[in-house]
Structure 1
Amino acid sequence: MEEGLRERKKRETRQRIADIAMGLFMAKGFDNVTVAEVARTADVSVNTVFNYFSTKEDLFADKQDVAVERAPGVLREREPGESVVRAFRRDFFDAIDTRDWRYGLNAGADVFARVVSDAPSLVAKLRELHERRENALARALADELEADADDITPRLAATHILNTTRILTHYSTRRLLAGEDWESIEPDLRAQAEKAFDLLESGIGGLLAGKGTAQQRDPEAEDEEAEGED
């Protein structure tokens, strides 16, 4: 349906407030900016800000609903015959190519990560967001698989897939925070992503197979050693 004028103005106002708030958060740090300052800079009232955002943390995570919906969206939009892992592999590499924000690979992701790490309430907010994404993907997988309520397969799959993308994002962000440029990180990130998604597809059943935690010893050699001691 075509967006009405009232809805468009509300959407634009919400986006303007969010953009102004994010600029202040990036420049000053989350805990050093008040909602009143955001409202004053955006030329709206504090009540108007809270009409659009329930909490200050929601103001920071203004795209959280889009981020949550993106995970089941990748599942629904997969190509004919494409597995869920293949769909997420393709989506992640597309994000690398475009440096899209959905996996935290956009320019400025390091600044975003630093602001989050400096504010405990944002760390909790991002943890909650990750749980919401995982729940949404698990529900979508359960629907597609027509899984019973007691079937843990959808939850296991959602957890493994989204933790894989989160760890890859952390790998990239950590190196950005260390001062490396994207050009040096990108090829390594691609290689790590290939390994990660290969592991998702093949499983970890063969990981460390045949490699014990302690060095294996020859029983006959042990017997000879014991006789020598006698």
Structure 2
Amino acid sequence: MTGLRERKRARTHAAISEAAIALFLERGFDEVSVAQVAEAAEVSKRTLFAYFAAKEDLVVHRFADHESEAARVVRARPPDAEPLAALRDHFLDGLRRRDPITGLNDVPEILALTRMLLETPALRTRMIRFQQGAEQALAEALQDTVGVPALTARLAAVQVVGTSRLLLMDNSRALVGGQSADERYPEAAADAEHAFTVLSEGLAAYM
């Protein structure tokens, strides 16, 4: 059972994040200061930085749970399932569910957040660190569950995470450009199938 202190921290974390996102979407990421976010959330700057190490983290933390998602899929797959097949199925399921991490979600607030991520250099740079964390977690999962050498696992992880990011970006740009998620879905699913087939064929001898 979650204690009172943990629940209070969770509420404060959520309040700061919600205030920040609302301001960023209204005025633009670069036009809002950390002090303005703290004021809107009714906390001090010191408190804000106790929850978020940098301004960019006020946005990117929304993706924090996804950083180790590919690794979790690999570790949780059935014993007879190949890692890439499990990752492909997971991505395709995400497309069907319109999971924002696939780029295929046109809910107005999420689409506005996607547009901000695409258009803000500081946020794109911060997402590179997110990608590197995903690569490391996936490489460790491949080493542990498949038994491949460290270098092979790292090479595979870079390709898988990079491919997923490419698919995400293509879908995001299509939706920001005016397509609906339903209109984009058939091409998004076909692209994902093709991308993971290419990965599977290229890595088959090593995985």
The TM-score normalised by the length of structure 1 is: 0.80
Q: In structure 2, what is the equivalent of residue 200 of structure 1?
A: 199
Q: In structure 1, what is the equivalent of residue 72 of structure 2?
A: 73
Q: CA RMSD in A?
A: 2.0
Deviation at 1:113, TM superposition (A): 3.4
- Of 155-164 and 99-108, deviating more is 99-108
Deviation at 1:140, TM superposition (A): 1.8
Sort the Cα spacing of 1:204 and 1:70 in 2 relative to 1 into closer, same or farther, 3 A. Answer: closer
Sort the Cα spacing of 1:193 and 1:146 in 2 relative to 1 into closer, same or farther, 3 A. Answer: closer
In structure 2, what residue type is equivalent to 1:136?
A
Structure 1: stretches of 5+ with no match in the other structure: 206-230
Deviation at 1:104, TM superposition (A): 3.2
Q: In structure 1, what is the equivalent of residue 173 of structure 2?
A: 174
Deviation at 1:95, TM superposition (A): 1.1
What is the rounded CA distance, in whole Å, between the counterparts of 1:42 and 1:134 in structure 2? 34
Q: In structure 1, what is the equivalent of residue 146 of structure 2?
A: 145
Q: In structure 2, what is the equivalent of residue 114 of structure 1?
A: 115
Q: Where in structure 2 are the equivalents of 1:6-85 lying within 5 Å? A: 6-85=5-84
Q: Which has the higher contact order (CA 8 A, sep 6+)?
A: 2
Superimposed CA distance per residue, residues 36-81 of structure 1 (whole angstroms, 9 cap, x where no aligned partner): 1111111222221111011101111123431212121111111231
What is the rounded CA distance, in whole Å, between the counterparts of 1:147 and 1:183 in structure 2? 39
Higher helix share: 2
Q: In structure 2, what is the equivalent of residue 104 of structure 1?
A: 103
What is the rounded CA distance, in whole Å, between the counterparts of 1:102 and 1:175 in structure 2? 14
Q: In structure 1, what is the equivalent of residue 87 of structure 2?
A: 88
Superimposed CA distance per residue, residues 187-210 of structure 1 (whole angstroms, 9 cap, x where no aligned partner): 1111111111222222389xxxxx
Deviation at 1:13, TM superposition (A): 1.3
Q: In structure 2, what is the equivalent of residue 123 of structure 1?
A: 124
Structure 2: stretches of 5+ with no match in the other structure: none
Q: In structure 2, what is the equivalent of residue 134 of structure 1?
A: 135
Sort the Cα spacing of 1:154 and 1:104 in 2 relative to 1 into closer, same or farther, 3 A. Answer: same
The TM-score normalised by the length of structure 2 is: 0.88
Identity of aligned residues (%): 36
